[in-house]
Chain A
């Protein structure tokens, strides 16, 4: 606030500006605006700036001078500095103030044209496809290796991961499934009651849950919780050179990091799915018993009649496949991270999106297989 200036207009259109006090980053912007305003208003033939009463001068002061000179140059008004005090002169000399190129703003970042960018994107897509395929191969080889040499599996890690993927997800899976069962029973009972067929609510909930919704819903929850976590963990390890360290120490990063995660998911997700089925059936039962005068025994009896062992196994088999897909794509996104921490966030997001996409894609494939059985 302490800087200011004095202005004198001479007879032949010369405006003499005397800068006074501190010129620093607090007031530079305001000072510049004021000076430009003055210049605009007075339309001078020539401007001189006197720095002899300045008490503090740094590059913000320089910036004011640069910008003022630039502004005047555009209107073809000559700009002149009154002989500055020695210390200011030193600063001016060091920035080669008299060189007009010195105050040019940053050049804009170079942008390639559309064709070049399209080409680059294609090459990048091809490379990432390459990476995806080789990662798939490396995971399959590592899995086969573990089957042949079970001692190379990192058992401790796998158990910790099983807890994270499975046990820790149980409350949320149980709650969502229970509510899902409630909703399904409620909605379907309103329709079925019209035909006096509300007893079939039990069958509907059981079949829909065990063969379709249970595996899908559990897989989506796991993709959100664990798929993203895998991508973030591995991505962070990438950017801090931990993966490189593993590799140079003679460990296979796939065997070390991906296999325990994929295995843990493949073991725990079917179990979670089983719980999900049970909780949904319980939810359906609550509605049926409380709102439709079914007894618990009838409900359970109807449920068991509808379910076959094949149906149950089919659902669980699907959930094993979903688990492998989610965990695989989570690890893949992690290993694909290049660069900085923002990439880790992108990888986590992408792990969830790709995970859900793969779940739906493979569920459709299973449906097609089923229909041509």
Chain B
């Protein structure tokens, strides 16, 4: 990682709740500009919840979050809008607009926030779609694509304006190994070329070891962060058994079993 230690996102004492249930508490994260941070942890531990709080979609029960110095938990609407312009998000389910074609989905932010002529927007859309291997699907509706293709189209949309900060919720889940590797390469290339800060929620050990500079590990029973740092380091020497178990892929053997002689 480049030796630029400017903190671009600051999460302070975050507490997140749904109704009466506390999902996360005492969460502190400093995301440094230009780094790739992987957020990992078991299913249902609150990774998506953390993301929704970090981008201001959910109001925290307690604590503060700042994006590039802008407090998005208490700030006024104008500065919040300014913070939103810096970020791109890939939602876990893609969240493509189902009434628009793939090309229109990608073109939407380009039309709204740039003054490019329609032709240029069209070209740019094709470039973005080709970079996720979806050339030729411009005029398909999201309902006509497979799950993995929707993920990739949504990735292309989140990249449309080359945001400073990119949040990716499981970018390679449900993709085959070849496409996954391409997406990983794309992520690294974008990070390298534009020094885009990335927060990637993932279960993929490839991303954790090969792509991420740093990981934050959440845990359901601890309701917060149980480990933070270099993945290879954590694997070797974390004092926490849950962390080592995750990195070494040890299963809790299922209790259901069948026997046939």
Contact = CB atoms under 8 A, between A and B. Distances in A.
Contacts of A244: 52, 57, 91, 95
B95 A87 contact: no
A206 interface: no
A164 B127 CA distance: 34
Interface stretch (B38-46, B215-223, B234-242, B253-261): B253-261
Interface stretch (A31-39, A54-62, A166-174, A309-317): A54-62
Interface SS, B side = loop
B257 A250 contact: no
Interface residues of B, number: 28
Contacts, number: 68
B259 A87 contact: yes
A83 interface: no
Interface string A53-75: 00111110000000000000000
Interface string B14-58: 000000000000000000000000000000000000001001110
A196 to B, nearest CB: 59
A241 B95 contact: yes
Given A59-B256, A94-B257, A95-B255, A247 B57 contact: yes
Interface string B84-98: 110101011101111
Contacts of B258: 56-59
A88 interface: yes
Interface SS, A side = helix
Contact of B112 (A87, A95, A242, A251): A251
Interface string B241-258: 000000000000001111
A136 interface: no
B93 A248 contact: no
Contacts of B113: 250
Contacts of B98: 236-237, 240, 242
Contacts of A91: 257, 259
Contact of B55 (A237, A246, A248): A248
Given A245-B95, A247-B57, A90 B87 contact: no
A246 B91 CA distance: 11
Contacts of B185: none
Given A241-B95, A242-B95, A242-B98, A248 B259 contact: no
Nearest to B85: A250
B109 interface: yes
A245 B89 contact: yes
Contacts of A59: 256-258
A249 interface: yes
Nearest to A241: B95
A250 B84 contact: yes
A244 B95 CA distance: 8
Given A245-B89, A247-B84, A250-B84, 4 more contacts: A236-B98, A241-B93, A241-B95, A245-B95
Interface of A: 55-59, 87-88, 90-91, 94-95, 233, 236-237, 240-242, 244-251
8 contacts: A56-B259, A90-B257, A241-B91, A241-B95, A244-B52, A245-B91, A245-B96, A248-B55
